[in-house]
Amino acid sequence: MRDVQEDPQVRRTPYTTRHKNRRVKWHNEDHIQRAAWRNRKPLEREVGDNTKDGTPGSWFKITVNSIWENKTWLMNSIQSHCSVPFTPVDFHYVKDWARFFVQDAGPASALRDVSYKICGISIIVDPSAEPYSVQNKLEPEEMEQLKVMQIQGTFKRYDVSQQALDLQTLRFDPDLVDHDIDIILNRRSCMAATLQIIETNFPKLLSLNLCNNKLYQLDGLSDIIQKAPTVKILNLSKNELNSAWEVGKMKGLKLEELWLEGNPLCDTFRDQSTYISAIKEYFPKLLRLDGRELPTPIVVDVDTCYLKPGKESSKGSETLKNLVMQFLQQYYFIYDYGDRQGLLGAYHDEAYFSLSIPFNPEDPSVAVPDLHSHPPTDLRVQLLKHTKHDIVRSLCVLPRTQHEFSSFLVETWLQTERVLCISLNGVFSEVVGKSQSSVRAFTRTFIAIPASNSSLCIVNDQLFVRDATPDETQRAFFMPVPTPTSSSVPTVSQEQQEMVQAFSTQSGMNLEWSQKCLQDNEWNYTRAGQAFTTLKTGGKIPEEAFKQIP
Amino acid sequence: MKASERRECWGLLLMDFKTYVDQACRAAEEFVNIYYETMDKRRRALIRLYLDKATLIWNGNVVTGLEALNNFFEMLPSSEFQVNMLDCQPVHEQATQAQTTVLVVTSGTVKFDGNKQHFFNQTFLLTAQSTPNNTVWKIASDCFRFQDWASS
C-alpha cells in the first residue's frame, strides 16, 4: 500500500509537504521513522508534533494502578473490556504501577475508557515517545543470527544432570564475542530471546545462573515465571540490582535457593536479619540465601484488634504475642506428651468444646456416629461438651497426637481486656491403630479470658480436623515427596515390564509411578491395584504421578 | 450460672440447656447460609449483616466499621463459596459482657474471580439483638483466612 519508491524531493523536505494532502505526509513520517529505526535514533520531534491528532505511528504510555497482583489476569481483564484490541509493548512495573505502551490513538482512548469498567483499577493515558524496545529493536536477520548463536552457546552452558543453565557473564562469552553478537541481558529483546530459548529447550529448568550480567532491572526476567516456572535456584549475584523491590518482580517463582550478594541492594539493609526477612517476604519457601541455610520457618502471625480505641504500643503486642505462644506451647505439650487430665487447669468450669470432622461415608478410618438413629438435636448436644470435666474426659479419649508446632499459623483476631480470641491452623500426626499414623490438618479456635496467674482460661474451644493433603504433609514435616528416580530402579524383567505397561494403562499413572506401585506391592498386580484405588480415593496420589513424561 | 438466669438471657420461658444450645446453633446455621449466599449473589447487601462497629480481619488485613467494610466488599472480586464444615457454640457470657453471643466456625473452598481456588477458614462472633418481635443476629467480629499450604 505504501509506495516505498518515494519521490526524493518530497522526502527531503518534510515540512513543506505538511500542507499538502495527508497521505503524502504519512509516507514521509513512515520513511523518517523507518530510517530512524535503522539508525537507532528516537525521533522525538516528529512524534511530539503528531500526538495531538493521533496519526498512525504515534505512541502512548499507559499507566495502570490496580489492587490486583496477578499480571496475567489483569491484562486479560483489560483486553476483554477494551473495545479496541491492542498489543502491549514493554510491559513493566514502576513501583506499584504497571506500565506499557500502545501504538495509535484508537487503542489508547479505548483503554482510557476501560478504567471505569473494571473494579479496582485506574488507567492513565499519556502521549509518549517510542518505547525503548522499539527504538532498539533488532533487525530480523540479527534476531535469527542471535538465536542460532544463543542456542549453540546455551547448550554448551547447560548441565543436564543438574538441570542448570549457566549464563553468567554472558556478554563476554568467547563464542558470542567472536561472532560479534552482543547479548546484553538488560535489553528486553535479548532477555526475551534468551527466555524463549529456555522455554523451548529447557522447559523443566531447575537452576539459572545470571551472575555478573550487569542487570539493573528484572522486568524482562520476570516472564520466566510463565516460561520456566520450575526454576528453584536462581543466581543474580554480582549484578546492579538496586533494591529488593526489583527482586520482588520474581515473586511468582517458588525459589529454594537465591544468590544476591554483590548487588547494591545488599547494602541498603540495616542488618542481616532485615535483609533475610525482606527477601523471605517474596519467597516464603526459600531455604538458602547467598549460600547460607536459612532458619526453619516458624509461621506465626499475630494480629491484634482493639475494640476500645487506645494506643497500640508495640510493647503491648509483644507481650500479648508471648503470652499466647507460651500458653499454646504449654497446652500442646501436655496434649501431646502428658496426661491430658492436666488440661483441667486450662479450662473454665463452664467451658464449651466441640469437635467437627468432615463426613466421608467411604472412609473407614474416620469414626462417625450413625446419623440415622440420632436425631440432630441429640447429636449436637452429644458432640458439644460443656463443663471442664466433660471436656477433658473427651480429650482423653481422642487419639494420641504429635503437633508440628513450627507449622502453626496463629492469629489473635479479637482482643479486649475481657477476652482473647485465637485461631490456629496446622498439622499433626495421629496414631491410628497399632503402628499406623496419619497426618491430619486442623483448625482450632480458642476463646479465652484472663486468668489469675497471668495466663489464660479457655471458655470456648472449637476443633476441626480433616486429613492433610500430601503437600501439607510434606511441607510440615519436611518429608521429601517420594519421586522415583531412574538411578534407583533395579533391573526389571520382561514380564514385569509388561505388568508395568498394563498397570499404567489401567490406572492412568505414568510408567515410573506404576512401576513403583507394583514394586511396593511385591509385584502382586491385584494388591497393587487395590492399594492404588484406596490411595486415589483418599486423594493421596500427587498429580505428577499422572503426568506423561515425554 | 443459674438455670433461671440462663432462661432470662434468652428472654424465653421454660428453656433448658439443650434447647438453649439448639436455638443458638440453629440461628447460627441459618445465619451462615444467608451470609455466604449474600456474599456470592447479593454482595451489596452483605454489610447489613455486620454490626456498626464490627471488625473484619481478612487474611491479616484489619477492616473496621461499616464504611470501611462497604468499600472492602465492593473491592473484593465476585466469589463462589463452598462451605464444607460448620460448627457453632454459645459463647460464655463471662467473655461477652452479657450479650448473647455465638461462636461460628466454617471451613471450605472459595474461588474469587481472577484468582485460583483456595481452602478457607472463617470464624464469626455473632451477637443477638432482641426486639419485641424477633431476634436479629449480626456479626460483631469476623476472621477470614485462606488455609493454603500447598501454594505460596
Q: Which pLDDT belongs to residue A6? A: 43
Query: Using the beta-carbon criterion (under 8 Å), do B91 and A471 form an inter-chain contact?
Result: no
Mean pLDDT is lowest, of A19-33, A414-428, A495-509, for A19-33
Q: Which three cell numbers stand for residue A55?
A: 496519526
Burial class (CB in 10 A: 0-12, 13-18, 19+), A452: exposed
Give yes or no for a contact between A450 and A456, defined as CB atoms under 8 angstroms apart. Answer: yes
Contact A400, A430 (CB under 8 A): yes
Does A477 lie at the interface with B, CB-CB under 8 angstroms?
Answer: no
Q: pLDDT tens across B69-122, in order? A: 999 998 888 999 998 888 888 888 777 777 788 999 998 899 988 888 888 999
What integer is the mean pLDDT of A30-39?
37
Task: Determine which of A53-62, A364-373, A427-436, B20-29 has the lowest per-residue pLDDT on average.
Answer: A364-373
- Residue A216 phi, psi (nearest 5): -115, -10
β-partners of residue A98 are: A64, A93
Q: In the prediction, which pLDDT does A355 show? A: 87
According to DSSP, residue A5 is labeled S
Alpha-carbon distance of A461 to A446, in angstroms, equals 5
Work out the pLDDT band at A194, boundaries 50, 70, 90: confident
Give the pLDDT of residue A4. Answer: 44
Q: Which whole-number Å values give the CA distances from A123 to A75, A98, A164, A329, A489, in the listed order?
A: 12, 9, 40, 50, 57
Mean per-residue pLDDT for A268-273? 82
For position B142, what pLDDT does the model report?
94
For the segment A240-245, the average pLDDT, to the nearest whole number, is 88
Largest CA distance in chain A: 103
**pLDDT per residue over A456-468, tens digit each?**
899 999 998 888 8
The pLDDT > 70 percentage for chain A reads 68
Instruction: Tell me which residue in A301, A348, A411 faces B92 most closely, judged by beta carbons.
Output: A348
Ramachandran category for residue A382: left, alpha or beta (phi over 0 → left; psi -120 to 50 → alpha): alpha
Contact A70 B91 (CB under 8 A): no
| Pick from B17, B60, B91: CB nearest A447 | B91
Q: What is the pLDDT of residue A95?
A: 67
pLDDT at residue A107 greater than cutoff 50 = yes
Given CB atoms, is A351 within the 8 Å cutoff of chain B? yes
pLDDT of B21-75, one tens digit each? 777 788 888 888 999 999 999 999 999 999 988 999 988 888 888 999 999 998 8
Between A10 and A127, the more confident residue is A127
Q: Which residue has the higher pLDDT, A119 or B83?
A: B83
pLDDT at B50 (0 to 100) = 93
Quote the cell numbers at residue A452: 489469675
What pTM, to 2 d.p., does this model score? 0.45
Contact: A449, B114; criterion CB under 8 Å: no
Report the relative pairing of strands B61-64 and A436-450 from DSSP bridges: unpaired
CB A347 within 8 A of CB A392: yes
Q: Nine-digit cell at A503?
A: 498397570
Which of B59, B111, B152 to mutate to test binding with chain A, by most A CBs within 10 Å of its CB?
B152
pLDDT at site A50 = 40
**A373-432, pLDDT tens digit by residue?**
333 444 444 578 888 898 998 888 888 888 877 778 888 888 887 888 999 888 888 876
Query: B90 contacts in A (CB within 8 Å)?
Result: 352
Q: Residue A70 contacts by C-beta under 8 Å, 6 or more apart in sequence?
A: B114, B115
Q: What is the SS3 assignment for A106-120?
A: HHHHHHHHHCCCCCC
Given a cut of 60, is residue A157 above it in pLDDT? yes
Question: How high is the mean pLDDT of chain A?
Answer: 73
Residues of chain A neighbouring B109 (CB-CB closer than 8 A): none
CB contact under 8 A, B105 and A73: no
> How far is A266 from A274, CA to CA, in rounded Å?
10
Q: Minimal CA–CA distance to B34: which of B23, B49, B44?
A: B49
Q: What pLDDT score was predicted for residue A43?
A: 34
Read off the pLDDT of each residue in A331-346 and give the average, rounded to a whole number.
86
Residues A512-537 have a mean pLDDT of: 82
**CB-based contact (8 Å) between B135 and chain A?**
no
- The answer, for B143 touching chain A at a CB cutoff of 8 Å, is yes
B18 interfacial to chain A (CB closer than 8 Å): yes
Contact B94 A441 (CB under 8 A): no
pLDDT band at residue A112, thresholds of 50, 70 and 90? confident
pLDDT level of residue A159 (50, 70, 90 thresholds): confident
DSSP state letters, A380-414: HHHHEEESHHHHHHHHHHSPPEEE-GGG-EEEEEE
Contacts of B69 (CB under 8 A, 6+ apart): B47, B50, B54, B56, B63
The CA distance from A315 to A438, in Å, is 40
What pLDDT score was predicted for residue B5? 52
**Residue B4 at interface with chain A, using a CB cutoff of 8 Å:** no
What pLDDT score was predicted for residue A478? 54
pLDDT for A308 beyond 50: no
Q: Which residue has the higher pLDDT, A488 or B129?
A: B129
Angle at B123 between CA B118 and CA B126, to 5 degrees: 140
B91 vs A67, A380, A460: nearest CB: A460
Quick one: pLDDT at residue A440? Answer: 85
- Tell me which residue has cell 540490582: A241
Per-residue pLDDT for A514 more than 60?
Answer: yes
Predicted confidence at residue A364, as pLDDT, reads 43
Q: Any idea which of A416-425, B9-18, B130-139 has the lowest mean pLDDT?
A: B9-18
Helix (H) or strand (E) holding B145: strand B135-146
CA distance linking residue A248 with residue A234, whole number of Å: 13
Residue A47: pLDDT above 70?
A: no
CA neighbor of B139 nearest in space, from B17, B60, B50 = B50
Q: A76-80, A91-95, A280-284 — which is least confidently predicted? A: A91-95
- For A366, the 3-state DSSP assignment is coil
Among chain A residues, the shortest Cα distance to B84 is held by: A358
